[in-house]
Amino acid sequence: MKNYTEVRIWLENFIPLVYGKEQLGLKKIENLLEKLGNPEKQFKSIHVAGTSGKGSTCFYISQLLMEKGYKVGLHLSPHLVYVGERMQILDNRKQETGNRKQKEHYDIPVKRFVGLVNEIKPVVDDIATNQPQFLPSYFEILVALSFLYFAKQKVDFAVVEVGLGGRLDATNVLLPKISVITNIGLDHTEILGDTVEKIAKEKAGIIKNNVPIVTGATGNALKVIEKVAKSKCAQLIKLDTQNNLLMPKTDLFGYVNEPYYTLRSASSSFVSKNQNLALLTVLALGIKLNNKIVDRVMNSGYIGRFEQISDRVVVDGAHNADKMRSLIEFVRNSKLETRNSKITLVLAFKTGKNWKEMVDILFKNLPIKSAVATQYFASTDMGKGSAVGAEEIRDYVAKVSSVQCKVISNSQEAVFEAVNSTVILNKKEILRSAQNDKGEGVQNDKLVLVTGSLYLVGEARTLWYLPEF
């Protein structure tokens, strides 16, 4: 395959038409990795599961490690625009090139990604011919590609986000140095179970014998995790026992010799919890931190999550009720709501999600002036054509609110229209503003909020940031 387009088309042939629990399991990924020389055994790893906040927690862990001088592999899913976003190398070590110092921190370059896929393709083709029962899925191939890339790059640590659940997820072939479960909520109930306890049991499947586990889970979900951790002799470090002022009085004390940094403010915000989980994880590895490093990392933003992409446009990939509540908290705490008495929503959702509950939460808690219902056309790990129809969203909005809701099926056109109706500029000026100066200096009294799906956010961000390919 010669270019990224050919690679993407080949990969998407492995997306299942229908995705269910029967697609999960470790036999296919174990077979593929064995044929590749078991790259997952060639680096130390940190494994992160949870209902919400997995990606941002991975991001902050990898940033902290990079700032301490480690070369870090970061595996995330899904991607927003470029498939190679799923496999990143973060390397803050200074390298001399002539008189110029370089700093690496990037997604896998497109050419390298194409080369890596060409390397794995003959292996997958051989499986298709001789072991069709072990033919890997799109997600499993991408997990194997990440592990192969990290092994080739000789990373010190790989921070790996679980795709779905934990116990049967393709990433669960790892034997990590530490595991993390961010929280437990009702999501993917058709696959993981219809109660918090059942979902917690699936997530707790990443806990390994004698491997420490850090968690932000509470209530009945925490009880399940405690039981599994005890059965595996895994040290359990719980976020809800951490004292923000007196860190020595914690589950961590006695495991880490001394507190190197007190937890961030006692804020209960979603972002702070994920940051604190990342901090606890690195401390539990016995890695010393200082305030300067922690402040620098924690003040960095994570794309697609609570991202104020221009002066009056926020994009956030909230795709369940808990994440939607966190988005509302962010809007309020950042004073965006008080600065903007009118909010225009751009909404798209994935089928199978409790999207109606998300709509209810938004309209009950924010001053919505108008809305645009749309849908994404990206292929997902779990199937193609997975977006809820824009008309269906519009019809439900009409049931729960008197707010006018337009239907614009193309997500980029939907965002364009929302921004255009929010500021007094012509379309050419809006596009130029978005692409060149990110909207700086645009004067208006409204906020455009793009949310409901990471796939929507990925398509919307291309109005501001064009991919390399």
182-202 pLDDT, tens digit per residue, is 999 877 667 788 799 999 999
- Domains in the chain, CATH or no CATH each: 4-298 (3.40.1190.10), 307-461 (3.90.190.20)
The pTM (predicted TM-score) of the whole model is: 0.86
Which residue has 């961000």 as its token pair?
Answer: 461
Nearest to 271 by CA among 327, 311, 317, 224: 327
Integer angstrom CA distances of residue 295 from 16, 265, 282, 298, 378: 43, 12, 15, 5, 36
Predicted local confidence at residue 300, as pLDDT: 80
The first and second tokens of residue 145, run together, are 């590609």
Identify the CA nearest to 365 among candidates 330, 392, 398: 330
What's the token pair of residue 327? 């988005």
Q: Which of 117, 79, 81 is nearest to 3 (CA)?
A: 117
Report pLDDT for 5.
94
The residue ranking higher by pLDDT, 232 or 433, is: 232
Q: What is the pLDDT of residues 82-93, one digit of tens each?
A: 999 999 999 987
Higher pLDDT, 273 or 72: 72
Residue 282 — pLDDT band, cuts 50, 70, 90?
Answer: very high
Average pLDDT on 273-292 reads 88
The b/e string for 409-439 (b: 16+ C-beta within 10 A; e otherwise) is bebeebbbbbbbebbebeeeebeebbeeebb
Say what the pLDDT of residue 118 is: 98
> Each residue of 21-53: pLDDT tens digit?
667 789 999 999 999 999 999 999 999 999 888
Reduced to 3 states (helix: H, G, I; strand: E, B; else coil), residue 4 is helix
Q: Is the pLDDT of residue 463 over 50?
A: yes
User: How many whole angstroms separate alpha carbon 260 and alpha carbon 272?
Assistant: 18
Contact predicate 443/423, CB 8 Å: yes
Q: What is the pLDDT of residues 141-167, one digit of tens each?
A: 999 999 999 999 999 999 999 998 899
pLDDT in tens, 77-135: 999 999 999 999 999 875 444 433 344 448 999 999 999 999 999 999 999 999 999 99
> Is the preceding omega at residue 78 within 30 degrees of 0, hence cis?
yes
Burial class (CB in 10 A: 0-12, 13-18, 19+), 257: exposed
Half-sphere exposure of 184 (CA within 13 A, CB side): 28
